[in-house]
Structure formats: structure tokens, C-alpha cells
Chain A
Amino acid sequence: MSPRTRLWLVAVGGAGVAALLVAACLGLPAFGGDHHPYGDRAVEASLAHRTANTIASVNFDQRAFDTLGELTILFAAVLGCVALLRQTRDEHRARPEPAEVAPPVRRYALLVLPVALLTGLYVIAHGQLSPGGGFQGGVAAATALHLLYLGADYRALERVRPVGLYEVGDGVAVCAYLVTGIAALLGGAAFLANTLLPHGTFNTLSSGGTVPLLNAAVGMEVACAVVVLLARFLDQAVEIEEESGT
């Protein structure tokens, strides 16, 4: 197909989709409306289980099964990346030269690293109380670790980051999520139902029954997944080279 025909096809298809989307937008309830029946019920259910952050309650209690599906996608994507980006036989590793880092960058990176890492862990731990949770905190903690690449160099990062361990951690976290779900099943309730633990006192760290457990499992899973992904991409971009002549 020539680029010209393709552009025409895109223009016609895009115009059709645009017309349908605008028609759909005009039919939606007005922005900022007061009618949210599903949301109101979610808030009630969350308060009944003494979870202060309704979003954590929706993710890890009311729709915990849905989150299991998301975790499966995440796990499969990481597995795919690891398989696609592994070192093949016709490739070899070139040791990267230790690079010079400007002293202000080094100071800043090493100063921010512990703060960022701690913030990530805090965000995971307080998922059921304040905005945050396993998904956000996991990404923050994992990316914080890579400030070491800016502040020191690639060798230092490789020493604090045994990738194999994080790959195992990824699998263990998914298993922990499943085991929590099956435990509810053994307790005589539905899979992933929040009946296993007492709901605790509202607005404390241990409130919400199994929500903190599932939240922690997700935090571990996401943090390990991001570390593994970045490690694989850094390997490809910095270290792995192909044999010449391929």
C-alpha cells in the first residue's frame, strides 16, 4: 500500500471514529454530575470493611479478583521481556568503562536515593490509609534504586541488584497473592473474600483485613517487576553487544 492511499484510509477511518466518539460524548452524563450509584456503593462497602482509602478497598477487596487478572498481565509481560531480551549465543558482554560523574550529580543522586526509596516504601505501607499503595510505591521504590546508576556507575548498581533474586521475588509475590485468596477459600468464604482477618480499627495501619496483605504483595510484585525490566533493558543498552559480522 502506498503511503498516500494509507493516509487517505487513516483520514476516512479517523473521521468516522471521530464522528462516533463525538456522538458518544454528547450522550454521556454531563461532566461533574451528581449521579454515581456504583461509586456511592463502593464507598459504603469500603467503610463497612474499615478501609480509609476507598480506592485500595476497591482494588484489593471489592475487585480483588480483577486485580489478580492485572497482576497476571504484569507477570506475563515481565516474563515475555525476560525471554525476549536474554543474551543469545551470538552476543557477548562488553564491560562498560566506569564513567566520570560530575560531583554535583553524584552528591544529589546519592542524597535523594535513600529519601526516594523510603518514600516508595512508605507509600506501599500506607496504601489502605492515604493515597498510594502497592502499584505506585512499587514503581517509586524500584526507580529510586536506579539513581545509583546516575550517582555511581553501572557496576555499583549491579552489585546491589542481584537480578535473579528479584525474579524470584516477582514470582513469590504473585504466589502470596494467590495464597491469600486460597486461604479465604479454606476459611469457608469465596476466593479472595476479605473475611480472613479482623477488620481492625478504622484509620490504623492494620485496618482493612486482608487489604494490607494483598497491597504488600502487589507492592513487592511491581517493585521486583520494574527492577527486572530496567535491568534487562540496561543490559541490552549498555552491556550486550553482537559479534561483528551478523
Chain B
Amino acid sequence: MGLKAIARKNAIHAMLIYTGGCNGCDIEVVNAVYSPRYDIEQYRVLLTWNPREADVLIVTGCVTWQMVEPLKKIYSLIPEPKAVVAVGACAINGNVYKNMVGEIGVNEEIFAPVDNIIPVDAKVPGCAPRPEDILMGVVKVIPKLMEAP
């Protein structure tokens, strides 16, 4: 393990971006970080709100059209190496907002699967996913950051 990897391993910064949806996953992510029961900081993963210092981007919510451009912009601001975790059914396939519509037809407000917009490394399913699963999803992408040159 090189010096870079050791340095990275001790301070992985995760950034949360919320792109619509219902707040449920969003609070579960915050819960996974802040609640002393789950405490993602024991794996040396810290929550940040600054894209310049982030390594992991956690995306929740079905991407509404106002949030497409901010999402792309924030992804481009994160320095390499970076990883993206899509949390919740909305971020993976659009959940009820995209797939259960009445007689109006296709819901054009939702740009749902996040991998249509930015590349995704790990997906955490569930509505809402449990905090344990979110921890697992974030911990699974750490090797990618370690192995990067």
C-alpha cells in the first residue's frame, strides 16, 4: 500500500446530494452518519458538504429536472478518484414516481436511474434502505478509491 492509499484510507469524505424523492432515504443516510448506533465514522468515513473535499458521492432521490444540472456540476467538482453510491429505490429505478402512473402516461419530471446521468459504482436498494445497508454500500466502494493511482 502506497503512501497515498494510507493517507486516503484514514479520511474518506462522503457527500450527500438529495435530488427529489421523499426525504426518507435522506434521513436514513444522515442517521447512518450521526446516530451513535450506526456511526459510519468508525470506518473513518466522514460526512462533508463540500464537493472539493469529497471522495464518495451519495445520491438519494429520483432526479427531478431541476436537479439534473446541479447533480452533473457537483459530480464534476469532485476530484479524482471518486465513487458514487446510489441509495434507495428512487435512485436505482425511479420507484413509484416513475413506474406507477395513472392515465397520464410517462412521468416526464423524473430522470430517474442515476446511472443515466452519472456513472454509479454501488447501488443500495430498499424503500427506505436500512442504515446497515447504506454503511455496506459505502464501505464496498472504498477499495476502488484505494486502488486508484
Do A and B interact? no
